Amino acid sequence: MKKILILLLLFGFTLCAKAQNLTVCDDVAKMSVQETASVENYKNLCSQKVQENWKKSNIKHDDTVIKITFKTLPDGSVQDMEVEIPSKFEQNNQAAINAILSAAPFEKFSADLNAEYAQHTMFFPCRRYAQITPLKKN
């Protein structure tokens, strides 16, 4: 029960942070604490690589959060990419896809994962964030 609660909390934090959610195809309820930590580490590595590319993207600002799902295989290659929630601007959709493809291939799975693939769901916010700059005194 404790493992399930921890996994649900991790899942909730991941969604709130607009980071990716990683699900390994094995039964999550049977995962040890070490396996859970391996999944988190792998998720964070993949997320960082994609986020670096997304920050460099030239996008048109709108209120959309693009949702893309894809799988990574044990060798780090990407498969079955699908844009589930697109932006109204194709340029934004392509930028999100390119952020993933540019980050690939991802790290190979660690030996503790023992999975056929990892399923990712990534969110790409297209909103314009106000930049606050301090007032200059003359």
Mean pLDDT by 10 residues, the chain (138 residues): 46 39 46 76 88 88 92 93 96 95 90 81 80 46
Cβ neighbours of 68 (radius 10 Å): 22
Domains of the chain, CATH where assigned: 2-125 (3.30.1150)
Could you identify the residue written with the tokens 């056929």?
A: 116
pLDDT at 30 (0 to 100): 64
The pTM of this model reads 0.69
Q: Decide if 93 contacts 65 (C-beta within 8 A).
A: no
Residue 115 CA to residue 93 CA, distance in Å, equals: 29
pLDDT at 110 (0 to 100): 76
